Structure 1
Amino acid sequence: MDIPQDLSMGERIKLLRESRGMSRPVLAGLCGRGPDWLKKIESGERELRSHALLMRLAVGLQLSDLSVITGGQSAVTQPVPLGRLNHPAMPAVWAAVMNRSLTPPTTTTVNVQTLLGRAEQSWHLWHTSEHNRTEVCALLPGLIRDAEEAARTLDGDDQRSALVALSDVYRLTGQATSYIAPAELAWVVADRALAAAQQADQPDAIAAAAWNMGNILRETAYPEEALRVTTEASDLIRPHLERAPDDWRGVYGALQLHAAVTCAREGREGDAWRYWDAGNQIAKSLPPSYVHPSTVFGRANVDFHAVSVATDLRSSGKALSLADDIDPDLMPSVERRARLWVEVARGHLLRGDRTAALHVMKLAHEIGRETVAYTPSARTVAADLWRRAPRALRKDAGDLAEAIGVTAAV
């Protein structure tokens, strides 16, 4: 439908809702919110900052392009993942996850220590490859099938180790298929990771799986549930921290940072910085060079999350000041390094500096092409730049948007 360009976001949402004959309670319910929340959004009384909630509104309104809500030129596409962003590896991963055999073999040829090593190497690849999604997704079908086989055929200590490996593999599957997997697969993967860890009765594995589950809950607009899962996992592992191995404290710290970002996206500034400080204290208790193998929790990641928290709280000055003090080369994860520059670009956009935002988005894309191409916040920044970049930078902005895949026509 044709929507007047001068309408606010809230007015657009109301117009779209009414044109579909939807009541306010119905649309609000699809977002996991109440009608009063939606009324305030539509009236402009409340600002909608959450990208995840914008996505849920777009899905509820059956839109394929988020810019119909946010405004802008029709040539700029900000895709709504009604199913998924397209990736050629997804069918094979889907088959491995969803076609699990009900009659597993009675014995296995899978060596559990080799399986654990393969999972660890795949996590390393996820964090170090420029094409991490493609390369890791190519490994996942075999990893999933072997981990399932080992967990269902081994016994005793070997089975516990296999279950930890299975949980690890499903956590990696959740990371590698984020934004390209249908919602039902994301939920299946998160649940299986947590169930395997609980069956292994391994507190650090349970905590890591809860971190993963929290990611799914937050990105599907269930922040309260995400916070509950992460705080319960923190309570589970906290009694072990005094004598725990470094990786147990590492996953505990990762849970604190997860909670910090969740609170920041809800505008809960005090809670956000309180959780961040808890993660910061854990980082101080670990060796300066420590990095958790899957969450990459460590000194550099704590500093990175400070930028994310400030950006989500819309404190652009603080976010950019914090980013100035970070040496990106200290971040061991290519994926996180690319995301750091995306956060910096978001900070520059908040201040209206599209020249600086374009510069750092190009850095992000050079560092992690697939991270930028498959991360909604990065795609949103790229679409904004292509639509509103200064005239002298429009070609560069257009080239970046085309490379990321957010332009409908160039």
Structure 2
Amino acid sequence: MPSDASPDPYATPIAFGQRLKILRTRRGMTRAQLGGLVDGKTASWVRAVEEGRLQTPKLVTILRLAEVLRVRDLSELTGDQSAPVALFTGPGHPRLRAVKDAIDAFPLATARPAPPTPHLQARLARAWAARHSAPNHREVIGALLPDLIRDARLTVRQADRTAERRAAQAALSEVYSLSQFFVAYQPDAPLLWRVAERGMVAAQESEDPHTIGVAAWLTAQAHRDSGPGHYDAADAVTAEALRFLTPLLPEASDDVLAITGALTFEAGYTAARRRETGTAWRYWDEARSLAERLPADYYHPVTSFSRAIMGAHAVTVAVELRSGGESVRQATASDTTAIPSRPRRARHRIEEARGYHLDGQPDVALDTLARAHEAAPETIKYNGYAKAIVIEETESKSPERRRRASELAARLGLLAV
């Protein structure tokens, strides 16, 4: 191992504080950044924990550290290998291998005729509709993706004329967009980045503004979810996409208007992660203005951007700003039933639960997570925030709350049934 390499937290038994320092450094975070994201702790507090001058924090703080550092398992932070609990990386879907094989394959010699681009577009439309309507949405799109990936690549290769090739590249980029929804939060980060980068390359080759916007939105999300060390990259992608799309807005289609709105909110989302309150809400307000220009029943199939989603977005901003009272106020004002997508509705329930938990209402948070599970079990199963709340409440002082949290934990596969 090179002398300047970070040690492996699993290589030898090491203390909690040493693990914390290793994982913080790998995320590119300063002590001040980490402390500020853990309920206002100071840089000196983080240093004291890392150096072993303070005892290992309580479970609630450990869970918050795991949330901020986006560790794969609590054991990665605590060192306890007896009961690893996956948090921000899901358990790995049974169809992941087939999807990965299709993404990694590069067949160069085939006589099979490619399906026409309109045929691919019709299959994609059905796939997005199935994703929004199915509670087991990963299972549904995981079954469709391998053939879609292979066929879309073949269509690009066999396209002869420039216009046909650009249309085929747009379809291929959309296939990669669908793939990113499947691959996200599963235990293969390099695969996620391959999908995001290939989607952006295909989008640029298509020269289609809407396709480019969608690929940029997903790439920005990949950067943002990689931690504070990647926030600048997320902002750069978002800003560049908005510079490209904004001049087109006077005559833009609903889809281009919607992806511009989604990217605008994405800038606010990252600002909220940075705790930049004014900037976050300014971008949310700009996004709402764009949403109001869309038809009342419009719903973007990839980003869910619409008039109906702005209430959910307001909850997300308040939660990321760690404002419990405002999160609850926004949750009360939002209309969950107006969101037609089951997985997006479940995700909104999770954001509401985070808000209630921040506001010191753990019973309401558990009720809300139970409703998220009813809407789309595969959404909550792969959501680290939801799992962190459930795990924390399994150690509640309230016997009834412990029971309810344990039952939900068992349904999520966090505890042995």
The bucket for the TM-score relative to the shorter chain is 0.7 to 0.9
Cα distance 1:273–1:75, how it changes in 2: closer, same or farther (>3 A)? Answer: farther
Cα distance 1:346–1:66, how it changes in 2: closer, same or farther (>3 A)? Answer: farther
Tell me which residue corresponds to 1:278: 286
Aligned counterparts of 2:88 and 2:123: Cα–Cα separation in 1: 31
The percentage of aligned residue pairs carrying the same residue is 33
**Higher mean C-alpha displacement, 335-344 vs 106-115:** 106-115
* SS of residue paired to 2:186: coil
1:104 Cα offset (Å)? 4.7
2:167 equivalent to 1:150: no
Tell me which residue corresponds to 1:90: 96
* SS of residue paired to 1:296: coil
2:140 equivalent to 1:135: yes
Aligned counterparts of 1:329 and 1:75: Cα–Cα separation in 2: 41
Q: Is the 8 A contact 1:260 1:275 kept in 2?
A: yes
* SS of residue paired to 1:87: coil
Aligned counterparts of 2:68 and 2:244: Cα–Cα separation in 1: 30
Cα distance 1:395–1:114, how it changes in 2: closer, same or farther (>3 A)? Answer: same
Aligned counterparts of 1:401 and 1:241: Cα–Cα separation in 2: 46
Tell me which residue corresponds to 1:43: 44
Cα distance 1:50–1:191, how it changes in 2: closer, same or farther (>3 A)? Answer: farther
Tell me which residue corresponds to 2:128: 123
Aligned counterparts of 2:350 and 2:269: Cα–Cα separation in 1: 15
Which residue type is aligned with residue 142 of structure 1?
Answer: D
Cα distance 1:359–1:98, how it changes in 2: closer, same or farther (>3 A)? Answer: same
Aligned counterparts of 2:275 and 2:340: Cα–Cα separation in 1: 29
Q: Is the 8 A contact 2:173 2:198 kept in 1?
A: yes
Residue from 157, 161, 165 that aligns with 2:171: 165
* 1:330-369 equivalences in 2 (<5 Å): 330-369=338-377
Residue from 79, 87, 90 that aligns with 2:86: 79
> Aligned residues, how many?
382
The CA deviation string for residues 42-77 of structure 1, in whole angstroms up to 9 with x for no partner, is 63279996866412xx46xxx6536739xxx99875
2:114 equivalent to 1:109: yes
Q: Is the 8 A contact 1:28 1:37 kept in 2?
A: no
1:216 Cα offset (Å)? 1.0
Cα distance 1:359–1:389, how it changes in 2: closer, same or farther (>3 A)? Answer: farther
Cα distance 1:168–1:190, how it changes in 2: closer, same or farther (>3 A)? Answer: same
Tell me which residue corresponds to 1:16: 16
When normalised by structure 2's length, the TM-score is 0.84
Cα distance 1:299–1:85, how it changes in 2: closer, same or farther (>3 A)? Answer: same
Residue from 262, 267, 270 that aligns with 1:259: 267
Aligned counterparts of 1:196 and 1:50: Cα–Cα separation in 2: 37
Aligned-pair Cα RMSD in Å: 2.7
Q: Is the 8 A contact 2:272 2:280 kept in 1?
A: yes
Aligned counterparts of 1:406 and 1:278: Cα–Cα separation in 2: 39
When normalised by structure 1's length, the TM-score is 0.86
Tell me which residue corresponds to 2:10: none
Any unmatched runs of 5+ in structure 2?
1-13, 36-40, 48-60
Cα distance 1:276–1:90, how it changes in 2: closer, same or farther (>3 A)? Answer: same
Any unmatched runs of 5+ in structure 1?
1-13
**Higher mean C-alpha displacement, 116-125 vs 304-313:** 116-125
Aligned counterparts of 1:300 and 1:38: Cα–Cα separation in 2: 34
